[in-house]
Structure 1
Amino acid sequence: MLFTQLSGHVSRLSKQALMFVMFAASIFTTLPAHSASKTILVLGDSLSAEYGLVRGKGWVALLEQRLQQKNIAATVINASISGDTTSGGKARLATLLEKHHPDVLIIELGGNDALRGLPLKASEDNFKAMIEMAKAQRSKVLLAGMRIPPNYGPDYSERFFSLYEKLAKANKTALVPFLLEGVAEKDTLFQADRIHPLAEAHPAILNNVWPHLLPLLGK
């Protein structure tokens, strides 16, 4: 008789414990989206700084809008400066990482290095330093690849372009193969300087970034 009573008591406790676990689980699965919010830091040059555009029309602003539309909790910090080089990005990055603690760092730099004919080894070293700084802060890195016109000869231009893939493989980072894919070959999508895309081109630029960014956000 006593054993039966004890068994019934234990059974009731087990049911209560199970109900508590299920209740606790329901709380965690219904936590607001901001509890898992990510921070994306964009370190770029004029292509990301909305040079010549109305504010809010560049691909970084469009990225923020798309994240909201897709109900992906993420904050986008645009730390891009027109004319910036890999050297300038490297100099600024430590402070930015300390301030924002990004989950993802998008590095969109290098074009100005190449247009100035700077040594590729210097650019490579700067990229490596930025990647190492980001990884030390446990930030995932997405490199945005760039091509340049063959002003300095096809050899330099091709070695510059291949530098991004080389860095991505060596450092195990994500890569946008070419940021201006589908844009660069269309003159009508550029401003008068033939360097900076018009606002109409920036949705395509975002589409080049988007599939490589999503996995870094766990999507």
Structure 2
Amino acid sequence: MAGLPLAAAARAAEPPLVLVVGDSMSAEYGIPRGTGWVALLQQKLAADKVAATVVNASVSGDTTAGGRARLPALLRAHQPAVVVIELGGNDALRGLSLEMTAANLTAMAGAARQAGAKVLLAGMQVPPNYGADYGRRFEALFGTVARDENAALVPFLLKGVADVPDAAELFQTDRIHPTAAAQPIILDNVWPALRVLLP
């Protein structure tokens, strides 16, 4: 038992770790390695002399159910100070129930907090062809979960990318995944909310 306080002290002395659990929006889908917003985040931390490391545990195509299943092992392995949850877009693309998406995000935020991490939830929106009511409800669920779970919130991860007049130029040919040029904008959306969670 004597080793436990020493281990905890050693962990406390290490730079805080930011764990990003996301889908293709964070997994550098279709763009060169090292150009995604998560890689740019690590570069920004170094440039700003913020002592923190980043682990990108994002998987293209992942849903909130997949993230919920993967999270416990990730929390044990990395013991993060901050968990960024960037999931939900694929739930909408597959027409999964909004209640299930909200329940999964709630469970993930709760598990991360229970493990001693602060939580940042990245909100997403769906294209208008999904219907106005569905779109409103999907967008709103991120704010509701963040409020209920005392998590920080990025209201819309793709602000300045998907909602600008020349949006097509910032997306790959599939019109779903942002280009490398869009990644600094995404980081600019995440950074203000993330920075306040770091020591």
**Matches of 1:193 and 1:40, distance apart in 2:** 30
Q: Does 1:200 align with 2:181?
A: yes
Provide, for residues 16-70 of structure 1, a one-character-per-residue CA deviation record: whole Å limited to 9, x for no partner: xxxxxxxxxxxxxxxxxx9451100000000000000100000000000000000
Q: Does 1:57 align with 2:38?
A: no
**Matches of 1:172 and 1:90, distance apart in 2:** 18
CA RMSD of aligned residues (A): 1.1
- CA displacement at 1:152 relative to structure 2: 2.5
- CA displacement at 1:103 relative to structure 2: 0.1
- CA displacement at 1:116 relative to structure 2: 1.0
Aligned to 1:127: 105
Q: Does 1:141 align with 2:119?
A: yes
**TM-score, structure 1 length as denominator?**
0.83
Counterpart AA for 1:175: L
**Matches of 1:85 and 1:53, distance apart in 2:** 21
Aligned to 2:75: 97
Percent sequence identity over aligned pairs: 58
User: For 2:153, what is the secondary structure of its paired residue?
Assistant: strand
Deviation >2 Å, runs of 4+? none
The answer to which structure has the higher helix fraction is: 1
**Matches of 1:75 and 1:66, distance apart in 2:** 11
Aligned to 2:146: 168
**Matches of 1:216 and 1:36, distance apart in 2:** 16
What count of residue pairs does the alignment treat as equivalent? 185
User: Which structure 2 residue ranges, 5 or more long, are not aligned?
Assistant: 1-11
Q: Does 1:73 align with 2:42?
A: no
**Matches of 1:151 and 1:90, distance apart in 2:** 28
Q: Does 1:38 align with 2:16?
A: yes
Provide, for residues 155-174 of structure 1, a one-character-per-residue CA deviation record: whole Å limited to 9, x for no partner: 11110001011111111110
**Matches of 1:167 and 1:136, distance apart in 2:** 16
Question: Relative to structure 2, which stretch is displaced further, 56-65 or 166-175?
Answer: 166-175
Counterpart AA for 1:85: T
Aligned to 1:20: none
